Structures are given as structure tokens and as C-alpha cells.
Structure 1
Amino acid sequence: MRHQANYGKTELGIIPTYKGRVSSTGLSKDGWIKGIRHMRNLPNNSALEVVIGQLGDDQAHSSFTVGGESPYVEIEYSAKMRQRHSYEIGAERMLRGSFLRSEYRYRFSEKNTVFIEMVQRVDASAAKWVIGTSGEFSLSNKYFTYPVEYFAYYANIDKAFGPRAQLIEDFIGTGHSGSVEFTGYLSQQHNLEWFLRGDVVDSVSRILIGIKLSFTS
């Protein structure tokens, strides 16, 4: 169940682990949280978000299974500074680990951003560091202009970081890693997109090519 209004947004029940654009420090693997997420808009382009619930099996097909869940708590504050700067700070408790998370983004042009992110596991002296960029460029000639979105980053995750590393990504685990992704519309009217993605972890790599269909406008 979801309710959205001028105050912000509230989600209750079986809710996704992520919202909006997936952060490279947030949770992005298919899966669900059984609980509540409340996001409250604050003055000066800021927001406060609280998530309380249970994180069970990280596979989507098991989201309605009862039993075996792990307590999940998250609190996050985000804010925009002027037109080009934004940041997030947060704290999490999951999978018997405690984490502090921070993120800073700088929009250096109208459609392009660079970012640096850090997740610190405070009970194991382990961290994940990320630096990357995202945005949009255009392929054009005298007949048409075709926009392409991109998302690329380098990351390093300490081995003591724990299973949260696998929840950040379904492929990228501990150690040095990188990812590059391009997406574009096949049919904007039908919310149909293509994507091309490459991931590298130390000496292991993969390439993903596919089509995405969105059911929301």
C-alpha cells in the first residue's frame, strides 16, 4: 500500500528495497522489506526518511514467506544545496550489522553528475567507497537527436563488509569493481527501453544486454 501527498510518501506492507534511481551504495538486488517506509518533505529542499521492518530472503519470489526474517532499520536525511550540490547521510541496521552511509553529488552540467559515496560498517571496521558519474548525452545528425543515459562507477569493498555487499549488487562483491551502463528508449510512448551493461570484479567480468518495460508513466 502506498500513499503520496504534499507531505511526502508512506509505503506499508511488502515494499521494495530501493526507491527511485538506484544508488551504488543502496540496496538494489531484487528483494523486499516487510514493513513501513515513511518519507517526509522538509523545508529548504530536504527530506527525512525512515524504514522499519524485516529483511528476509533477498529473492523476490520469497517475499511473502513468513519466518526467518532479519530486523531492518534505516534512517536517512537528504538535502539539495543551491542548484548543483546535494548530499545524503544515513544509518542502517541489517543482517546483524550496523552501517553509516554518506553520499555527495555535484551536477557539473544540466544533465550530468559526478558523485562520491561511502558506507562504513561500524561494528567491523570495514567500508565501501564509490566514485562515479551519471547523466545523458545525445547521438545526433541533421535528421534526428537520440538521447542515451549512462551510469558508471568504480568501487572498493573491504572483505569484512559482510553480506550487505551482495545486497548492494547481485554480481559485484568485495574487492575492486566497476560498472558501466547505457540505456535508451525503443518506444517512449510504451515505456520500452534497451540497456547495455558491463561489470568487472577483479578478473571476472560480464555483459548484460536486454529490454526493459515500465508499467508506470
Structure 2
Amino acid sequence: MKRLIFSFTLLLLCMPSSQASDFNTKVSSALRIDDRSSRDARFQYKLSVTPSFQVNQNWSLHGYAITGDDFSSSHNTINASTSDTFYLRRLFVRYESENTKTEVGVIPTYKGRVSSTGLSKEGWIQGIRHVVASQSGKFEWVVGELSDTRSSQALGFAEQLNFIEVEFSSSVSNDFAYELGFERILNANYARGEMRFSSQTDVSYGLEIIGNIAEQEFKYVASLTSEFKLMSLPAELFIYYSFVDDNFGQRAELTEDFLSTGHGFSAELESSIESIKQLNWFSKIELYEGNSRIQLGLKYSLSL
């Protein structure tokens, strides 16, 4: 908690009062019931705060604090004596120009959208990211440390450079995009590829594969995202199927859409509530290796 208070204080001190309009904060919260076939149902909540301060046209300071006690977790369980965590997981400086972006500090795991085979969007890396955009696509490299996955230990300086990522992403047309990447993480090497196709009917399809090079073990993901109207309100449906080899390694548990080793299926539906702005409802079902999990809840976001 002392580290959290210190970090937020640092953010506030970096905000001159004469430029208060350049300081923005997004607050998001969620409440859900989580019912798993192998355990009793539980009620959970999520709270996240994303402050940012635009120093000038190129430089900005960013933070991210959220509930949850681990790299991939984002919820606390109500009435659980050991589940009351809320930590600042990221604190970094960003320099952005027309064709480049550089982030230094405890940075996000992603540069843009989060892939199913990418690292969890709630995670962090202690290090540096550099992205260069050109007519052919975007080239990204990341160097840093990812060792302790407890959110209480997220803030700090990289002491050993055990994380390396190199990635190239490009759009062949308005409808088709692909991404290729290499990672060195948790003492293992991984290669990753992704293809994404968008149709004329607000439906996009994805196919992803990531492999543990030494073990020749893989994770495959096929997904579908659809945006449509549900009772005249905007709605989004996300469906995916995944298969993870049993000996893929610890990297599997850090991915964004990890269910279990073996076969897995998930479908998530989210829509807004007409009478209350920025309040959405969501439902999700997961089926994996003889188990099932159902989630129902509400989420609310506010920008200050």
C-alpha cells in the first residue's frame, strides 16, 4: 500500500495546477456473479483507475491501478478475507511522434489491441517499448523483465533482462491484417502469428497460433467478433475456440484468453442499458475439459 500511495503522489506532483485540463482519469468498475461447475458461485467486483497527464505534444505520463492479486487477475471476491487487493501495476513515460512511440517504465503488455495469444491486458512489463510505423506496417520491440507475477510486486526497475519481444504487424487491405512475433519469456522462446479478416457486415474473424519453439507445443485460437443491434441498442458478441498443448508452459497462463490446457470454448455478449449512460451488462460462458463457467454482471466507466 505504501508503494501505491507513493506512486499516486508522484503522478499528482507531476501535474502543474495551471495545466489541470491536461490531466485525465478513466475510472471503470464491474460487479459480477461467477459460477464454476467445480466450485461454489462467488460474487466479485473490479475497480480500475487509469490516470494520464499530457506534458506537451510529445510527452505524457501514464498509470494504471486495478483490483486483483496477480498478472492476469482483475477482480476481488466479496467477503473473502484475503481478497482486498488494489495496486498500481503500471507507471510509465510515453514519447510519441508522427511515426514512432516509445514507452519507458512499468509498461503495458500491448501496443494496441490485445490478441487472444498475447499477454493479458491486465499485466505489465518492467522495461522499454519502441514502435515504428511505416507504409508497410508497424515494427515493435520490447526489452525488460517479467519475473514476479504478483500485482503487489509490479512496480520496480528491471534487474534482469529476461523478456524480449519483436513484432511486426501490417494491413494487406482494409479487410485483412496479419501479425508476426517472437518472444523470449520465462526462459523459453515463442513464435506467434495472427491473421484477422473483417467482413462488410461488422463481423471479424481471427486465427492465431503461438508455439513453444523448444518443446514444439502450441496454442491455437479461432475467434469471431460481431457488432450489431440488440433491442435497438449497440451490442458486441465475442466467440472463440482454443486448444493448448499440455506441455506448452507457464506462458499459457499469462495469455489474455486462457481457459485451460486442452480444448476450450467461450462466448461473451455485452450490450448497453438504455436508461443509464456508460452502464453495460454482460454475460459469458466458458466450456473447457469437462468444466463450465458462467458469468453475469454489470460494468460502468467514467472519464474525468
Shift in Å, 1:132: 1.3
Shift in Å, 1:212: 3.3
Q: Structure 1 78/67 Cα, relative in aligned 2: closer, same or farther at 3 Å? A: closer
Matching of residue 180 in structure 1 with residue 252 in structure 2: no
Shift in Å, 1:109: 2.2
1:188 and 1:125 map into 2 onto residues whose CA distance is 52
1:199 and 1:151 map into 2 onto residues whose CA distance is 12
Shift in Å, 1:55: 0.7
Higher relative contact order, chain-length normalized (CA < 8 Å, sep 6+): 2
Shift in Å, 1:19: 4.2
Matching of residue 207 in structure 1 with residue 298 in structure 2: no
- Aligned AA (1:176): H
Matching of residue 11 in structure 1 with residue 103 in structure 2: yes
The partner residue of 1:36 within 116, 128, 135 is 128
Contact 1:29 1:167 in 2 (8 A): no
- Aligned AA (2:255): I
The partner residue of 1:90 within 181, 184, 187 is 181
Partner of 2:60: none
Q: Structure 1 213/35 Cα, relative in aligned 2: closer, same or farther at 3 Å? A: farther
Shift in Å, 1:135: 2.4
Q: Where do 5+ consecutive residues of structure 1 fail to align?
A: none
Alignment of 1:1-217 (within 5 A): 1-28=93-120, 30-44=122-136, 46-64=137-155, 71-140=162-231, 145-169=232-256, 172-186=259-273, 191-214=278-301
Contact 1:56 1:70 in 2 (8 A): no
Shift in Å, 1:193: 3.2
Question: SS in structure 1 opposite 2:205?
Answer: strand
Contact 2:115 2:256 in 1 (8 A): no
2:285 and 2:203 map into 1 onto residues whose CA distance is 20
Contact 1:180 1:199 in 2 (8 A): yes
Q: Where do 5+ consecutive residues of structure 2 fail to align?
A: 1-92
Contact 1:119 1:128 in 2 (8 A): yes
1:107 and 1:38 map into 2 onto residues whose CA distance is 27
1:61 and 1:186 map into 2 onto residues whose CA distance is 35
1:59 and 1:208 map into 2 onto residues whose CA distance is 24
Q: Structure 1 3/66 Cα, relative in aligned 2: closer, same or farther at 3 Å? A: closer
Partner of 2:13: none
The alignment's TM-score, normalised by the length of structure 1, stands at 0.86
Shift in Å, 1:170: 7.3
Shift in Å, 1:211: 3.2
Shift in Å, 1:61: 2.9
1:20 and 1:185 map into 2 onto residues whose CA distance is 24
Shift in Å, 1:66: 6.4
Identity of matched residues, % = 37
1:13 and 1:187 map into 2 onto residues whose CA distance is 40
Shift in Å, 1:87: 0.3
2:133 and 2:183 map into 1 onto residues whose CA distance is 20
Shift in Å, 1:197: 1.7
The alignment's TM-score, normalised by the length of structure 2, stands at 0.63
Contact 1:70 1:94 in 2 (8 A): no
Q: Structure 1 209/20 Cα, relative in aligned 2: closer, same or farther at 3 Å? A: farther
Question: SS in structure 1 opposite 2:247?
Answer: helix
Shift in Å, 1:35: 0.5
Shift in Å, 1:167: 0.3
